[in-house]
Amino acid sequence: MRKLSRRAWVTGAALAPQIAAGQIVRLPKKVRLALIGLEGHIGEILDPMDRLPDLELVAIQDPDPKLAAQVAEGKHGAEARRYSDWRELLNRESLDIVGVCGANGERAGIILECAKRKIHIVAEKPLAITAADLDRVRQAVAKSGIHLTMLISMRFEARYRAMKQIVEAGEIGEVAQIAAQKSYKLGERAEWMRNRATYGGTIPFIGVHMVDLMRFTSSRELVEAVSFQGRVGHPELRDMENTTATIFQLDNRGTAVLHMDYSRPDTAPSWGDDRLRLAGTRGVVEYQAATGVTVITGQRAPREIRNLPPDGSLFLDFLESVYHGVATGLSLTDIYRVNEIVLAARESADRHQIVRT
């Protein structure tokens, strides 16, 4: 078993280097940013801007004027020009980076237009809701030479970095089984989420987070999948599934299961309930909010890991990669791979078949 030094554990040095909390990040030039679509994880882009004096939010677009007004009234949006049409925004603005959020069904087309203009992209997830569109995105990004990342930021959180370190140190042995959960409050859902053509399905929409974490923390690949999905109650959701379950086979013949729902009660203390458990040949490491990161092995009693590595920032990591040549903590290979897996898992549910991922 490889031992982690105290310094490596505390600083997270076993993983990609991270920018210290609160550190000002300088870029080699003024960088012009636009946001197309203002739903989802735009906080991953806006929140670090206090640390980015060379980054300017110059334009925003959303068909909902209320959302546009909320961002424009925020700390970093006061000078941003507002658009109701994303094509007009791209035609009028000179940009370095575009954050592509909004409805899932539009995302691939917007990415293709940004790639054509050689604009770097920070995209919501999934990149596309069909395998054909995902291939088009991959080809366009490769042809343009731009940088692209996707807002699956959970792998930058301290708890999952800690789980990865524990696995890589060999403490729980070879991972044989993974169990993952995503449970959300239903809340008010946008109209585009109620239509399969614009939503794409719950498995691609939220499953992409946990598929990335399962691969990231375990260093195992997901090679086959069988899924079920459905809507129970809530007829107002129409095409939107509120319950899914997927079983994966791992590349070492181990197994993994991912179950997701929109059934978390409104009285719950948090919007979501994420859980991840890795069972190995020597022990188990798991995370849930109620207990934190815990480890149990044959050599040591159960314990909570309190001295976690630092949180990272997906957006700062991306900027460091684009403008300073630093190795990214989320590779394009991983981004494409998790998109492939969730689209295949949804296909399994649609076809009622086991599929290769």
Query: pLDDT grade, residue 312 (50/70/90)?
Result: very high
Closest-CA residue to 10 (of 228, 321, 308): 308
Peptide bond into 309 cis (omega under 30): no
Query: pLDDT grade, residue 16 (50/70/90)?
Result: low
Mean pLDDT within 300-304: 92
pLDDT tens digits, one per residue of 238-276? 999 999 999 999 999 999 999 999 999 999 999 999 999
pLDDT tens digits, one per residue of 151-186? 999 999 999 999 999 999 999 999 999 999 999 999
Closest-CA residue to 57 (of 77, 29, 84, 83): 77
**Which position has the token pair 């636009």?**
34
Which is higher by pLDDT, 270 or 12? 270
pLDDT tens digits, one per residue of 63-84? 998 988 999 898 898 899 999 9
Residue 299 confidence (pLDDT): 87
The full DSSP string for 248-316 is: EEETTS-EEEEEEES---TTSSSSEEEEEEEEESSEEEEEETTTEEEEEESSS--EE--SPPPP--HHH
Distance CA 321, CA 316 (A): 9
Phi, then psi, of 32 in degrees rounded to 5: -100, 120
In the beta sheet, which residues pair with residue 248? 225, 256
Residue 75 confidence (pLDDT): 86
Distance CA 251, CA 163 (A): 20
Closest-CA residue to 28 (of 55, 51, 47): 55
Percent of the chain residues topping a pLDDT of 90: 89
Residue 136 CB contacts under 8 Å (≥ 6 apart), including other chains: 108, 112, 128
Q: For the chain, what is the mean pLDDT?
A: 94
pTM for this predicted structure: 0.94
pLDDT tens digits, one per residue of 105-137? 999 999 999 999 999 999 999 999 999 999 999
Q: Is the pLDDT of residue 11 over 80?
A: no
